[in-house]
Amino acid sequence: MSKVIFLGAGSWGTALAIMLAKMGHEVILWSKVEAEVSMLQEYREHRDRLPGIKLPESILVTTDMELACQGADLLVFAVASPFVRSVAREAARFIPAGQKIVNVAKGIEEDTLMTLRDILVEELPEADISVLSGPSHAEEVALEMPTTVVVGSARKSTAIFIQEVFMNERFRVYITPDIIGIELGGSVKNVIALAAGACDGMGCGDNTKAALITRGITEITRLGIAMGAKMETLGGLSGIGDLIVTCTSEHSRNHNAGFLIGKGYSVEEALAEVKQVVEGFNSARAVKKLAEKYQVSMPIVEVINRVFFEGLDAREAINILLTRDKCKEYPDLGWLEEKE
């Protein structure tokens, strides 16, 4: 068994910590939020995010960063994307060279256009940093519902180590060297899920949702290939798999925020109602900037940015998407007579 330390005690970090503790690993759960730590210590339950799911007594919950970072076989970054850089800077002096780290959050930093792993590599250059992603809502993992994810790592040996730490009969883990594919799939799908939620809020129906998910994976793939990701990854668990679950699930904060906007809530009202970090909102402008940088067409991302940041009505956004110029579904596919 391994000593595994979690930085971040939100729903995802807590759910994974509970799972690993039940597997027999030594687990420490850290949070900067004193009220959150006090709640977990007193009630052994994350009453806000995972009500009714008890923490094993073996899990140590703390606000002490130095204590949390000592002697870890694996350090799990589970903080929300806006705080990854600041937590990494705070933890840096306590993290030894060669420390195995796996990031389980999703997002892109707007100012730098860095993925979260890029940020960790910059702040912790001597660490061995991997990523874990896939269709995996914390609420279901905490209830031990069957779940499958993928780990991306630069080193095969590290990927296998993380796979062995996390994998059990209810949590299947695949491995891959395609880190950028995993990160882009996990980040861009949150933006698409906002649009899917808005469609549901407006009552658009199953046809609309299916079209949006399908064209969403097309946009993710365009950007991913331009940035060096592999098609197989984008069509796998961390791409289309994560997109499907985030666009359709009641657990998805991105879908729920979009749903409220589709119902007529303002962006501010929707974000306040969800009461959690809506990663798609934080990544939307960054993804648009990446599309511009790599010169790829991402019309869904474009209109979502206009809804969030320019006041475009969600219904008008649907009209804009439907009335774009006529085109082929896949431009590279042609008829025989075109080649004569």
The catalytic site residues sit at: 189
User: Is-contact 24 1, C-beta < 8 A?
Assistant: yes
Q: Fill in the DSSP letter of residue 228.
A: T
Could you tell me whether strands 147-152 and 171-176 are parallel, antiparallel, or unpaired per DSSP bridges?
A: parallel
Say which residues have a Cβ less than 8 Å from residue 179's Cβ, sequence separation at least 6: 117, 130, 131, 152, 153, 154
The residue with tokens 């707007």 is 110
Say which residues have a Cβ less than 8 Å from residue 233's Cβ, sequence separation at least 6: 150, 176, 178, 181, 182, 185, 224, 239
User: Is-contact 199 213, C-beta < 8 A?
Assistant: no
Spatial distance between the Cα atoms of 94 and 98, rounded to a whole number of angstroms: 12
Spatial distance between the Cα atoms of 36 and 48, rounded to a whole number of angstroms: 9
How wide is the angle at C-alpha 104 spanned by C-alphas 71 and 154, nearest 5°?
A: 75
> What letter represents residue 288's amino acid?
K
Spatial distance between the Cα atoms of 52 and 50, rounded to a whole number of angstroms: 6
